[in-house]
Each structure stands twice: as C-alpha cells, then as structure tokens.
Amino acid sequence: MPELRTVTTHCPYCALQCGTRLTRERRGTSVRPTDFPVNRGGLCQKGWTAPTLLDVPDRLRHPLVRRGGELVPVDWDTALRTVADGLQRIIDEHGPDAVGVFGGGGLTNEKAYLLGKFARVALGTSQIDYNGRFCMSSAAAAGTAAFGLDRGLPFPVTDLDGADAVLLAGANPAETMPPLMQHLQGAQLVVVDPRRSATAERAALHLQPAPGTDLALALGLLHIAVVEGWTDGDYIAARTTGFEAAWQRAATWWPERVERVTGVPVAAQRRAVRMLAEAGSAYVLTGRGAEQHSKGTDTVAGFINLALALGLPGRLGRGYGCLTGQGNGQGGREHGQKADQLPGYRSITDPAAREHVARVWGVAPESLPGPGRSAYELLDALGTPNGPRALLVFGSNPVVSAPNAAHTTERLSSLDLLVVADFVPSETAQLADVVLPVTQWAEEEGTMTNLEGRVLRRRRLRVPPGHARSDLEVLHDLAVRLGEPGHRYPTGPREVFDELRRASAGGRADYAGISYERLDAGEALHWPCPDTAHPGTPRLFLDSFAHPDGRARFAPVEHREPAETPRAAFPLTATTGRVLAQYQSGAQTRRVEELNEAAPEVFVEVHPDTAERAGLADGALARVTSPRGSALARVRVVATMRTDTVFLPFHFPGEGRANLLTGGALDPRSRMPEFKVSAVRIEPAQEEVAR
C-alpha cells in the first residue's frame, strides 16, 4: 500500500479511542482531533504527541537475534528460522504446552484473533493469556455473572452527558482518559479512591477508604439504600433475582461498622447514597481501583449490587459500566487470546463453542487444547519443570507491568527461548533471544473495539520503517515454518476480520454483521451485530438481561481482608496507579520528550506526618520496601494522602518499578493480581532513581 496524505483514524492509547486525523507533512506526521462522539474535538496530552512515537530514535527496524550475549541485527529469514526451529525442538521434546504465548490489550481485533488461533492450532498449546488479565478481568467476571454479558459500557459514552450523579469507584479518568470528563461536566461526582486524585478534586463528594476496603464500603452503601428506603422495589421484583441473599450479607454492614473498617464517615456514606437515589439520571462506574484486588470480582459485584438495588442497569439515562483501560481492552478479550476463551467471547470448555470455532478453522474440535494458565500464573510457571520453556510476547511489557516484577523477570530470564514482537526495545525485549520489529498504529489497517463495544477502523497512513512487518505477517510466516498451510493464517487484515466475523457468529460478542464496508461508510456499529441488516446494539439490556430468564443477578458477597496487611516490619500500605503523562508500562510514552518532561521519574506520594516519622522531606529519595523487594522513588509530600497509605505510579523501569513491591495473590475467579494493596515500609535512600 502506498503512503497517504491524510487518514481518519483513532488514538493509539486508551479505550476511549478518540477520533483523530493524521496528516503527513514535510517535517513529519501531525495529528488533529475529530468530532468523534467520545472526544468531540478534544485530545489529551498523550493523544496530541502520539505521532512522535512513529519516529523515535530507537525504533526497531531490523530483526535481532542474541549471539554471544548481545542482540545483533539479522535478516527476517534467519530470525524466523531461529524462532521456528527453537519452538519445534521444544515441542518435540516437551510437548506443545512447553510453549507459551503472552498477548496484549493494545493489539487490533485481527491480531488478537490470529494470535489465539496460532497458539491453539499452529502450536497446539493451551498456554496463552494476555495483559488484559491485569486490567479488566474482575469487572468482566462480575459483569458476566450479573448481566450474562460483559461489555465495559453497555451504553454509549454520550449517555453520560445527561447524568445528574455518577459514582466512580476506583477510577481516575481526569488523568487516565481526560476527554471523558467533558461527558461528566453536568453530573455531581461521587469518587471512591484512597487518594485525592485529579478526579476526586473535581468531585462533589470524595469517599477515601483504606486500600482494600472498597467492598466493605459497597456493602455499607447497599445497607443504607435498603434501610433508608432508597431501593427501587418494583425494579428489583421485575428485573432481578437474588436480592435477599445479597441483602443478608449487607445487613450486618451498618454505617458505623463501615466507618471503622474503611475510615469513610457515616455522613459521607449516607450522602453518597442519597445523591444517587435522588438523581433523575444516575450511573455507577468502576475502574481498576475496584478490580485489582484478590477479591476484585466480589468488590465490583458489590457496586453492581448497589446499582441494581437503585434500579439503574438496563434503563435509559441510568446504568452501570466499567471503564476499560487499554486501547483494545474490550476487543482484546473477546476473540481468543484469553486462556479460557475462544472467539466471540465463547468458553473454551463449551463443546458447542469448540465445534463451531473448529469448523471455521478447518480443524477437529478435539484437537483444540483446553483452558490454560492465567497471565500471572503463566509467567510464574515459566522455566519450571511443568511450565513453558519458551514464550512468545506480542504487545506487552511484563518486566514492568506484571506483579512481583523481580520474580517475573527471573522467570523470563530462565527460558530456553524468549521471543518478543514490538516496535521499541521495551524492557522485556531487552531480555529476549529474538526480537521481531512490527508495525505501529499508523502503519497498519485493522479494527479496535472501544469501551462502549463500538467497533472502529484503524487506518494506515504510512509504510513502516526499515524491515518492520505486521504481526499478521509474522504469525503467518511462523505458522508456515511450523508446517501449517499458509491459507490458514491470512496476512490481510480485512481477510482476517471476515474470518473473525464467522468465528464470532452466534457468540456473546457477535461481530457477524460488522464489515469493513459498513465501518468505512461511517456506520456506528456496537456489538452484538448478528447480521448485515442489523444496526448494532449501542444500548444493552433495555428489554432484558442476557441470562436465559432475562433477569440480572445480585451476588451475595462478603468483605474480607487483602491477602497482605500491614505489620510491624511493613506498617504502611502501598497502592499503585497511573499519571496523566504516562501510559501503562511507559514503553511508548517514556520515549516522548514532552511527556517525559511532564512526568520524568517515579515518585511516591506520602502524607506529611508519615514523611516526618520516616525522616523524609519533599523531593528526597526514598526506598519503599515490601516482602518481595524495594523500589526507589522521589518523595512527594501530599497533605491529602491517608497517613497509612503511599502511592506510586507503575510506568517506570529499573529500580523505579512499582511492581517490584506487588505480589502474586490472585482473585479466585478472575485471576486478577492484587496490585492495589502491598504492605511496605519507607525510608531514606541515597541511590539515583532509575528513569
């Protein structure tokens, strides 16, 4: 394809997928926002600087193979032959599950789909998962249990324009997706966050619970709603089941008990419920702060229970939703790169689902492997006697983003073969035996699915530099070298998408009626969209929920302590999150000068009293230590922090990795790691902070 002058496409970062127009100019590529519904002519700092990514000085342009301890440039045939021979040798000696695949929530739908197919057919392995397990898995599990279907927002973002009140539990969109805030301007915000975040600063009411106590707060809010008569009895009777069992759990969480456990005053609890209940239009939205716990699924379910009790989900002008994080966090978990799923959001253990997908793929259903390990369990098993001995990584940087980072790095380093496909030399790529340079967002065609379940067209502006190839071409070439027929792994995004449509047909995430032609014609198509005459489904659940009886389910959940609580040696709680100028593991944004100037290094927010007790001053270096390791960070003394809590962003490498502190405790259902709670101590340090 030739280079174009201008294309209309979407931002490469968060799940809003803001509309943009890219233009090739003499001095490079420029970006302008479009009047797309989610951003309406706005962009955040990351979106405005996104074209800089296309020409960063250390952009990967040639395949690299490790020789004599160093990564050296080679041609594609040498790189692919090295990978294929290594994979085949490991499979022959140890079986297909000795090879693992780790994907990403930023991959296009086409890449995510073909990666899942490649893992299960070309490799025959069950060992595939992706970094979206760290992002939205708890909300997905809770939403599926409650509504029978998981779509981040079951309504368009623009519905929030008319909201009178919105509860944001563990979400900080003012920094993580700033253009969303224009849709919340008319609403009174109730923000649940242990920090006084940028979003909490704009709130009418900030509830500041101790980290790990969000579920106790959700139970308490439900208690108040019931006891003080704010519930919608007619809605509960007509559209839900399980209320009594959920209420029995919440009945013991009277406001004074909730205040003792969470630190949130009784008056603030009552005001929060009253604001939601009295609003003509109200929404409950959850984010990573509610999810990234060893009880994250139950915590999200607790807030869904509150929304159901108030009669919000499945009604115009009201609702519950989850703010998906990664650019294709929604589509990325729908098409088969998650350990327990097949395309169309089908269960890999469902015989009918296996038969349908196998028929599309032209293989026998019994040849498909079963469910594999979840993301952290997969990383934790690398190099062990019963774990994978090789790993292929596409679109992820687990050295920085995975929990228990030092242990994760050790596991990656223990592999016989580590292959990383990326467009910059991320910290994970620097460990690899083979690095494959792949295309960026403005160099490829494809589709993404944003947080509303709206399928969007990504359009190519320019040819990739050097010898970079698309991920689809890489998967095709590897599959052929492993003995697969080439036609089974198309390299054209449109052809892959048409196959994805057939594979998803009849599934919960049904894309059968969505086509490039309809998207290019400007149709706004939200899944499910079962046929080409269907207009798509921007609003789910208005008539019924996706369970067979059409009713939503309350969940009988109970608060429990985090997996790790403070003690004498580690008296504080560390919680992690994001900042405005950086994104995810920082592999992209740390290469943009303007963003690095705004957020150049890791920091730790500490209350003044906590800092004084530790002998720390604002701007000093601190060592934050948990039972797993320690991170170096610059101190920010913040008067609004809780005295028992410190906060670190997780975007930074080396000794500044916040995930050196986090552990491997997992939610029993979603397998989400507990990123938000780590017992730590903090003390002065002299070392330089890793940038």
Write out the DSSP string of 71-101: EEE--HHHHHHHHHHHHHHHHHHH-GGGEEE
Residue position matching structure tokens 């962003």: 649
Quick one: tokens of 496? 């892959």
The helix/strand/coil state of 484 is coil
pLDDT for 25 equals 87
CB 297 within 8 A of CB 141: yes
Rounded-to-integer distance, Cα 288 and Cα 281, Å = 24
- State the DSSP H helix or E strand holding residue 10, giving kind and residue range, or none if neither: strand 6-10
- Going from N- to C-terminal start, the domains of the chain cover 5-54, 64-134+327-342+373-504, 153-323, 572-684
Rounded-to-integer distance, Cα 136 and Cα 133, Å = 6
Q: How many helical (H) and strand (E) elements, i.e. helices and strands, does the chain have? A: 23, 27
For range 208-215, the mean pLDDT: 98
Rounded-to-integer distance, Cα 632 and Cα 691, Å = 10
Band of residue 168 on the pLDDT scale cut at 50, 70, 90: very high
Cβ-based burial of 268 (10 A; exposed 0-12, middle 13-18, buried ≥19):
middle
Give yes or no for residue 469 having a pLDDT over 80.
yes
Average predicted confidence (pLDDT) for the chain:
97
Band of residue 686 on the pLDDT scale cut at 50, 70, 90: confident
CB 293 within 8 A of CB 286: no
pLDDT for 129 equals 98
Q: What CATH number was assigned to the domain covering residues 64-134+327-342+373-504?
A: 3.40.50.740
CB 484 within 8 A of CB 490: no
Per-residue pLDDT tens for 378-392?
A: 999 999 999 999 999
The helix/strand/coil state of 419 is strand
Give yes or no for residue 167 having a pLDDT over 80.
yes
Rounded-to-integer distance, Cα 161 and Cα 38, Å = 11
Quick one: tokens of 203? 């709130």
Band of residue 1 on the pLDDT scale cut at 50, 70, 90: low
Q: What CATH number was assigned to the domain covering residues 572-684?
A: 2.40.40.20
Domain 153-323 has CATH 3.30.1330.200: no
Q: How far from the centroid of its chain's Cα atoms is residue 184's Cα? A: 22
pLDDT for 689 equals 46
Give yes or no for residue 688 having a pLDDT over 90.
no
Of 95, 109, 84, 90, nearest in space to 484 by CA: 84
pLDDT for 28 equals 85
5-54 CATH choice from 2.20.25.90, 1.20.272.10, 2.70.98.10, 2.40.160.40: 2.20.25.90
Give yes or no for residue 508 having a pLDDT over 90.
yes
Of 384, 395, 372, nearest in space to 474 by CA: 395
Neighbours of 92 (CB within 10 A): 10
Backbone phi, then psi, for 11, in 5-degree steps?
-60, 145
For range 409-419, the mean pLDDT: 98
Per-residue pLDDT tens for 581-604?
A: 999 999 999 999 999 999 999 999
Neighbours of 593 (CB within 10 A): 10
Angle separating helix axes 76-94 and 471-481, nearest 10 degrees = 50
pLDDT for 691 equals 45
Per-residue pLDDT tens for 296-347?
A: 999 999 999 999 999 999 999 999 999 988 989 999 999 999 999 999 999 9
Residue 437 is given by DSSP the state E
For range 260-285, the mean pLDDT: 98
Quick one: tokens of 525? 């198509």
Distances (CA, A) of 580 to 46, 340, 398, 600, 660: 8, 33, 21, 12, 22
Neighbours of 664 (CB within 10 A): 18
Do 64-134+327-342+373-504 and 572-684 come out as alike in CATH topology? no
Rounded-to-integer distance, Cα 545 and Cα 132, Å = 25
CB 348 within 8 A of CB 507: no
